[in-house]
Structure 1
């Protein structure tokens, strides 16, 4: 069984962050994976977790700790498909109708989806997320309905890109940062961990401080 997080109900006076799990996990598992971030940021934000629509095998490192915690899910029909499926679009659209989000936070394939959402809202000139948090992201951003030229647009939404120095997908995460963000619009944190959130409290604190900085600076800019 997944450990209980022990968090109180969402507070109506707090801004919300949309949280997108990695491939081969689910919303419940992701709550556990980012529990340190939630604890530190719970006075400032509500966290809203979605489940991907497509069943799949467990992701890297999910077993044995999360044995019996399925179904395991992903955001696209296959890991190699760069297009945002209609099922995922509908999930995101319904969540955004129900809640006004200030930020989007994604891990691994969830970061890939988060990058695509930021790119689409910019290209289509839609009001949306004010900042992004990309944790151990992979390529390419998951998008739909964009031309090849539009897919080359550099993202200007203020963001933080977090990489693990021992992550086997580290280079993909670095390329996500270098090739898809406008220079100066994203900060880069490289931490002493693999394809997961760091267990060292000081390193988690670095992520917390960047998220608070992003939110503060976007508020000051409005």
Structure 2
């Protein structure tokens, strides 16, 4: 893991940076160099390694062959698993991220945004989703940035994500089946999984989502004009999230408050049962 810079920026909000599958925090620091240089004027950027070692991911070799140590965030995507297992893995990832932040003495209240690429983008959205469900240590987390988000064309995984978004929508009382968090999406038009990214955009609440395309592949925007557009997009969703906040219907607040705190060791199966009793399933 690494921090962008050498000193804690005590008066700046924290943006957690999540690399793609088969990559690392060090590699992601290079991949995001141009946008991170500008974002670091506003945020304390914290780059983290994912917990699980794996083979190098798409586009990592041969450029980063001299930087061994490749990691991934999610493993249940490799094999059939129950909804409870998928949700359990997300909580495990949330605990892992908080442990890594604790190791750098990061105050959880300072975490206001996540920035993820590829699989890291999915995790960034998941972490924001846990905040929406009041199952998060980051009480001030407001938005996430998803670059090249997707499932490498896996239709079953996309369908599963859509079901989870619908569950979250019901949980916070929106009822439109859309992801209720504030999100900024960027997708390369030459990305092999461009369709994945665009579908994920449509799964998000239109009034809380901004998006852009850029002429490149499965990479973080790197052309000057694209970086400028991405920075404007992030600024836009930042401002939207500050003015909009997180709101739920009164009935949903009661249900949310009745859920066990899974992050603190509460039973996931019990939490899923509470949701099922209220007609919310995945």
Q: TM-score range by the shorter chain?
A: 0.7 to 0.9
2:36 equivalent among 32, 35, 38: 38
Aligned length: 215
Number of the residue aligned with 2:17: 19
Q: CA deviation at 1:194?
A: 0.3
TM-score by length of 2: 0.68
Number of the residue aligned with 1:62: 60
Residue 122 of structure 1 contacts residue 155 of structure 1 at CA under 8 Å; is this kept in 2? no
Deviations 1:87-117 (A, max 9, x none): 4232123356633211111000000111112
After superposition, the Cα gap between the structure-2 partners of 1:214 and 1:95, relative to the gap in structure 1 and judged at 3 Å, is: farther
CA RMSD, aligned part only?
2.8
Residue 4 of structure 2 contacts residue 46 of structure 2 at CA under 8 Å; is this kept in 1? no
Distance in 2 (alpha carbons) for counterparts of 1:19 and 1:151: 23
1:189 equivalent among 191, 207, 212: 212
TM-score by length of 1: 0.85
Residue 108 of structure 1 contacts residue 138 of structure 1 at CA under 8 Å; is this kept in 2? yes
Residue 114 of structure 2 contacts residue 143 of structure 2 at CA under 8 Å; is this kept in 1? yes
User: Gapped runs of 5+ residues in structure 2?
Assistant: 152-156, 170-176, 246-282
After superposition, the Cα gap between the structure-2 partners of 1:44 and 1:148, relative to the gap in structure 1 and judged at 3 Å, is: closer
Query: Structure 1 residue 93 and structure 2 residue 98: aligned?
Result: yes
Give the helix-richer structure, 1 or 2.
Answer: 2
Deviations 1:124-175 (A, max 9, x none): 465342011000001458x9xx979625642222211100000001111111
Distance in 1 (alpha carbons) for counterparts of 2:13 and 2:226: 24
Q: Counterparts in 2 of 1:1-222, with a 5 A limit?
A: 7-77=5-75, 79-80=77-78, 83=86, 85=89, 87-95=92-100, 98-99=106-107, 100-124=110-134, 127-139=139-151, 140=157, 150=167, 153-179=177-203, 181-221=204-244
Greater shift, 64-73 or 186-195, is seen at 64-73
Q: CA deviation at 1:77?
A: 2.3
Q: Larger Rg: 1 or 2?
A: 2
Distance in 2 (alpha carbons) for counterparts of 1:42 and 1:154: 31
Distance in 1 (alpha carbons) for counterparts of 2:13 and 2:4: 20
